[in-house]
Amino acid sequence: MRASAILSLSLPCSTGEGQGGGVRNSGFYSAIKRRRWYFITALFFCCALLTPAHAEWFSRTDDGIMGTRIVAELWADNAEQGNAAIEAVLAEMRRIDAAMSTYKPSSEVSKVNAEAAQHPVKISKELFDLLTQAIEFSRITEGAFDITYASVGYLYDFRQHQKPNEQQIAAALPGVNYRHLLLDAKQQTIKFSQPGVRIDLGGIAKGYSVDRCIALLQARGIKHALVTAGGDSRIIGDRFGKPWVVGIRHPDDKNKVIAKIPLVDTAISTSGDYERYFDEDGVRYHHIIDPKTGHSASKVRSATILASTATRTDGLSKTAFVLGPEKAMEIYNRLDDVDAILVAPSGEVLYSKGLESACFRTVPSACNSISGFTGPEAGGGVRLGLQEPREPVGYIVGGGRPGRLAVRERRAWQAGARARFRAHQPPIWRA
């Protein structure tokens, strides 16, 4: 019926006839040709209407969740699937924010902060498990990561340029120690061992939310996606047959990068002293607090962590700010599934064992500009795009066997080679 309607609207009503037979025949045959062309056009249009929508990329950015920028980009079979998947990501981000934000008095974490010094507080399994992971990160990092930093951290307001004085810090510091957190797995409760203790999951919750969203997408059959919350990102699959290219921002110039890394099936987190901060009397006060001193940690300018999950990269990205690059690298190099790129206060860039044998040091020309990036800016010093590096700078793949990162010898650029890039096969790291 639809084809008939379209066809009837497309046919000419009549053709004018001239005085001579030749003219009449010419008009007749022209009309036949026009009718034939209209008929073919109509059939093509009908087939287009009946053909299912092609798979395509869907993306959305939201600046109103968790106080940071949320980016979701994915490949879906149709618009209904793609839009529903993105809505599910944003809904999950809002749910976690509502449960774990210290800025929401009704959140589960706010309830813990209000009551856990007086009595054990029953909490959800989700929060209990995340607190367990946070404590494990505290042990791995020798106390450099500590969610009880909030016992001092709440005294800072970086938007208002407010900081505590030394007397206030000294009074609050006794509450900073992850050992004050008493978890009871059987009762699924938490209690603080003394008054004055507060927790804040800002150093791990965004990474956790990214992992939760990736799990939701995978459950929906999505195989190619990026989810970002601030400086924490996780990627599954590739994009248009090529890896995502991540540019790590220069700490002093947001228009430059210090390295470009193609990634597939990997999580990455970057923390920097240029995110939430203010400068006063030549001192930078920023949001990464040293649990031992109560002051902003300043032993590196930037730290980027690569691993298989964003919870892990988020939880480990603050370590170097507290311990310094050398000690932090000792810890990172002991972890078989982790790699790191650190920027020292001097500007020196340091790489963990799994990366230092790559060509990052030998191709500075590939690491000095963000021009050409076409993907979203992930925030936190990480920029993601599709620009292929001018020279191969490493191909990070996190979907392999859990355990150590294996570095394959790089093959040189090969025109016509049957590889993912066709033109070259860069080195591959597998988590």
- The CATH number given to whatever domain includes residue 292 is 3.10.520.10
Alpha helices in 101-233 (DSSP H): 108-115, 125-140, 150-153, 166-172, 205-219
Same domain? For 280 and 334 the reply is yes
Same domain? For 425 and 300 the reply is yes
Same domain? For 185 and 243 the reply is no
Same domain? For 243 and 309 the reply is yes
Same domain? For 109 and 41 the reply is no
Q: In what order do the strands lie in the sheet with 56-65?
A: 56-65, 68-76, 225-229, 232-236, 266-272, 302-307, 339-343, 349-351
Same domain? For 402 and 352 the reply is yes
Can you give the pTM of this predicted structure?
Answer: 0.75
- The verdict on residue 278 lying in a domain is yes
Provide the sign of the torsion angle of the four alpha carbons 192, 198, 200, 203, taken in this order. Answer: negative
- Nearest residue to 324 via CA among 202, 169, 144: 144
Boundary of a domain, candidates 163, 192, 221: 192
Same domain? For 248 and 386 the reply is yes
CA 67 to each of CA 62, 93, 103, 117: distance values in angstroms, whole numbers, following the listed order: 10, 11, 10, 27
**Domain total for the chain?**
3
Same domain? For 10 and 111 the reply is no
Six token digits for residue 154? 């709440």
Q: Which domain holds residue 372?
A: 231-430
Same domain? For 26 and 170 the reply is no
Per-residue pLDDT of the chain (431 residues; tens, 9 = 90+): 433 333 222 333 333 434 344 444 555 445 555 555 555 555 544 444 444 446 789 999 999 899 899 999 999 999 999 999 999 999 999 999 999 999 999 999 999 999 999 999 999 999 999 999 999 999 999 999 999 999 999 988 888 888 899 999 999 999 999 999 999 999 999 999 999 999 999 999 999 999 999 999 999 999 999 999 998 999 999 887 888 888 888 888 888 888 888 889 999 999 887 776 667 777 777 788 899 998 988 899 999 999 999 999 999 999 999 999 999 999 999 998 999 999 999 889 999 988 875 544 333 333 333 333 333 344 444 444 333 333 334 444 443 322 223 333 233 322 332 333 333 333 434 34
- The verdict on residue 298 lying in a domain is yes
How is residue 364 annotated by DSSP? G
